Amino acid sequence: MPDGRLIIERDAQPDHALAVGAALVHTLSPERPVALYGATLQGAALVLGRYQRLSQALPRDNAGHVPVLRRSSGGSTVHAGAGISYVALALQHRSALMACPAQRLLNRNVRGALQGLRLAGVPANYFGRDFLSFEARPAVYVGWDADEAGGVLLEFFVSDSRSCWLAAHESGYPVRQEDVLRGRAPTTLVESAASAQGVQALEKIAEGYAKGFHAVWQREAETQGLKQPDSNAVAGVVSPREELSLGLSWSQPFEEAIGFVSAGVALDAAGKFAALRLAGDFFAHRACAAALERMLVGVTPTADGVGRAVDAAYAASGHDVEGVRSMRSLQEVILEAVAAAKRETEPEQE
């Protein structure tokens, strides 16, 4: 019967809500291993997933219309603002609510949200992707982050009176061959005639976790002191200059299970890896990227070497990874980025 912190706000700006969510994990303790923050939102923003590359995920002419933010959890871009609510569920460890084996972070920990949404009068379901559905229509986007210390953050974007999903023309990615929403049109609490909406729906979600997991909420009214995430948190405003400063050569986006993946690399004067980054709409434990970089930086790129490192960091590490069907996809985008880096340095070598 875990004790937890509960905070629910009205009409928060998206950047404020994301900052509170990013900080929640760092407030947890063995005595209070769970925290839930919910907020109805105002204003408007586009919110990138932790690993997305701005210039690939959004069209160039789209970024200037509304602020572009980045959240702590992985996954794809969503709308945040008026008509959408935000929920952050922080766990000191993956099994703080119930036993949770690898690859089950969403499956196990969205259950309280499902129960709460059902209390709000909608038939909520989870079909194993990155969203919750009302009946079979996507209605709540959900992503996760897991840090090196074992902390877990789930972030929910609840379509209250407005869908959080981007329209096709708002995405900068190539046209997908496979519809991530499986041909289902998104819906909202209002359209689904929910008995609770806005703050009342957030209260129901908190009640769902209390009923489903016997969580005992200690309600707090203030978020003061909760908006200072650590240096590893990424929630905040995104600038195009952020990516230019990395100095990486990039592959093209490659379609995967729930989105796209790409890679950026930099090579040193000897042609060895100097820097490496995987980008896209996937979810991964933070330790995976760090492990991959440790194994490859300073190493001459080869197909076998990259493949072994990807398998060790993402497939054999014991850490969660979702949204990628085959590790070969990661190997191929890294090798494509290596080829791009070599092409870009050839004129300098001549």
pLDDT tens across 86-124, in order? Answer: 999 999 999 999 999 888 999 999 999 999 999 999 999
pLDDT in tens, 194-215: 999 999 999 999 999 999 998 8
**For range 138-143, the mean pLDDT:** 98
Same domain, 47 and 174: yes
The more confidently predicted of residues 169 and 310 is: 310
Domain boundaries, position 317: 246-345
Same domain, 214 and 289: no
pLDDT in tens, 314-334: 988 788 999 999 999 999 999
Q: How confident is residue 277, by pLDDT bands cut at 50, 70 and 90?
A: very high
The CATH number given to whatever domain includes residue 28 is 3.30.930.10
Q: Look at residue 8 and tell me if it is in a domain.
A: yes
What does residue 193 show for φ and ψ, rounded to 5 degrees?
Answer: 55, 45
Alpha-carbon distance of 190 to 171, in angstroms, equals 25
pTM for this predicted structure: 0.94
Same domain, 264 and 199: no
Same domain, 89 and 41: yes
Name the domain count of the chain.
2
What does residue 192 show for φ and ψ, rounded to 5 degrees?
Answer: -85, 5
The two beta strands, 216-219 and 124-126, are unpaired
* Domain termination site, one of 236, 257, 292: 236
